[in-house]
Amino acid sequence: MKNGTIAVLLMLAVSLAVLGSGFIEAPTGFDGLTNGSVTQPVMDKARDQFAEVEAAVPNGLGPLYNAVSCLDCHQSIADGGPSQVRELRAGHLDVRGNFVAATIKLNDGSTVGPRSLINLRAICPDAIGQLSPQDDIRALRLSLPLFGDAFVEAVADNDLLKIAKQQHDSTRGEIHGQAIYVDILEGTGGKRIGRFGWKDQHASLLSFSSDAYLNEMGVTNNFNPTEVTLTCNPPGIAEPNNTDDIFNFATFMRALKAPPKDNNLARSLDAQLGADLFEQIGCQTCHVSTLHTVPVGTKLNGGAYTVSDAIGDKVFHPYGDFLLHDLSTGDGILQSGPPNTRNKMRTMPLWGVRTRVEFLHDGRARDLYEAIRHHRGEADEVRERFERLPNDQRARIIAFLKSL
C-alpha cells in the first residue's frame, strides 16, 4: 500500500490546492444548455450543424466515410454523448518491427493509404475495398463522449506534465503516464500536449473537428483539403467552403457542460466509502479527480482560441489524467506518438461512466468489475489491491463509480 498511499496523498494535495485557489466549479448537466461560452441561440445553431445529415451532393460526403453526421457517433444520453459506434483501424509490423498503417485496394483498382483508419462505408461500389491479410493488426474503438471537453482543452500543458511526474515519482516509475505533443492545425500552428481521442491525437477541438470531418465523413475543409480518394467523388463540390461547419462543431463542443454526478447516489454511505477506497488503493493515481483550466483571456491553439470567462479559471472533476498508459489492453496501432505508444491508450475519464454499458477502448468489458480486472501492466498493483478487498468493499467502489 505504500506507493499507492503516497500517490493518493500527492493527488489529494493537488486537489486541495486547486479548490483553495479561487477557481469556480465548471457547470455540469446533460440538459443541452450552454455552459456560458456562447449564448443559447448560438449553441443551438451550432448543434443544428453538428446534427446535420450530410449527402454526397451538395455537402461532399465520402467517397469513404463512417458516419453521415457528427451526431451519428455522439448522441447517447444527449447530443454530444458517446455511442455504440466503433471505428476500425489496421496495419502491420515490418521486418524491423515498425508499425506500418494499412493500404486498402479499392474495387476500381486504386489504393487508399497508408492510413490506419479503415472506413466502413462508401458512396459507390468502386470505393469499397478490403484489408490485405498482411495487415493483421486490427482494432476496434468506441466513440467517446464530448461533455466537458471544453474544460479539458483549457488545461495547461504544464499541469499534465506535472501529473505524469507525480505518477512516476510516487510509484517509483511503476506508473508513468506519457504526454505527447501533437500538431495544432489552426492559428500559427505549433504543438500542444494531446488530450482528445484514445491515442491523445488532438489537443484542439477545432483541429479534432477538421480531422473528423475528413476522416469520418469524407468532407474536406481548409485544414484538411485533400480527399482520401477521388474514386467516384462527385465533381464540382466546393468542399473547402465547409470550413464554417468545423467552426460550428467546435463551438458546440466548447459550449457543452461537464458530465453531472448522480447526486443521490453520491450522497449514499456506500458511494462515499467507495470514494475513500478508490483513493486508498491508488486508482486516483491515473483517474485524477480534479483539474483546473487556464486563466480567462489565455490564448491557446496557435493563438486562434481565447479562453472565455465561462471556461477560464474553472475547476472540474474528470477522474482522468489525459495521459497514455500501458495497461496491456493496447490495440497495437501507432498514431501521433512515438513508437513506444503503439500499445498505450489514454486513461478513460470516469465522469459520466454510469451512462456507459461497454468499457475500455474497444468495449471488451461489459461491466465495471470486468473493466477493472482488465487493468494490467502499469496498473497491476492497483488491480491486485482491488481484488484483495472483501466483496462488500469492492461493491462500494462500484457504487462510487456508478455515482459519476
Which neighbouring-strand residues pair with 90? 138
Indicate the burial class of 269 (C-beta count within 10 angstroms; 0-12, 13-18, 19 or more): exposed
pLDDT band at 83 (very low <50, low <70, confident <90, very high): confident
- Tell whether the model's pLDDT for residue 9 goes beyond 70: no
Which grid cell sits at 386? Answer: 482491488
User: What confidence score (pLDDT) does residue 20 get?
Assistant: 52
Sheet holding 111-112, edge to edge: 111-112, 104-106, 129-130
User: What confidence score (pLDDT) does residue 242 get?
Assistant: 63
Which grid cell sits at 300? Answer: 491557446
pLDDT digits (tens, 9 = 90+) for 360-400: 999 999 999 999 999 999 999 999 999 999 999 999 999 99
pLDDT digits (tens, 9 = 90+) for 183-230: 999 999 999 999 999 999 999 999 999 999 999 999 999 899 999 999
Domain ranges within the chain, ordered by starting residue: 2-402
Distance CA 8, CA 283 (A): 8
Q: Are 402 and 368 in contact (CB under 8 A)?
A: yes
User: What confidence score (pLDDT) does residue 85 get?
Assistant: 87
Which grid cell sits at 151? Answer: 474544460
pLDDT digits (tens, 9 = 90+) for 84-142: 889 999 999 999 999 999 999 999 999 999 999 999 999 999 999 999 999 999 999 99
User: What confidence score (pLDDT) does residue 159 get?
Assistant: 98
Please name which of 258, 66, 34 lies closest in space to residue 145, comparing C-alpha atoms. Answer: 258
pLDDT band at 22 (very low <50, low <70, confident <90, very high): confident
User: What confidence score (pLDDT) does residue 238 get?
Assistant: 59
Average model confidence (pLDDT) across the chain: 93
pLDDT digits (tens, 9 = 90+) for 319-359: 999 999 999 999 999 999 999 999 999 999 999 999 999 99
Question: Which amino acid, residue 104?
Answer: I
For strand 86-93 and strand 99-101, is the pairing parallel, antiparallel, or unpaired?
Answer: antiparallel
- Tell whether the model's pLDDT for residue 47 goes beyond 90: yes
Helices and strands in the chain: count of H runs, count of E runs: 11, 18
pLDDT band at 8 (very low <50, low <70, confident <90, very high): very low
User: What confidence score (pLDDT) does residue 1 get?
Assistant: 42
pLDDT band at 59 (very low <50, low <70, confident <90, very high): confident
Using only C-alpha atoms, the chain has a radius of gyration, in whole angstroms, of: 21
> What's CA 331's distance to the chain center, in Å?
15
pLDDT digits (tens, 9 = 90+) for 149-181: 999 999 999 999 999 999 999 999 999 999 999
- Tell whether the model's pLDDT for residue 61 goes beyond 70: yes
Give the mean pLDDT of 264-291.
98
pTM exceeds 0.85, yes or no: yes
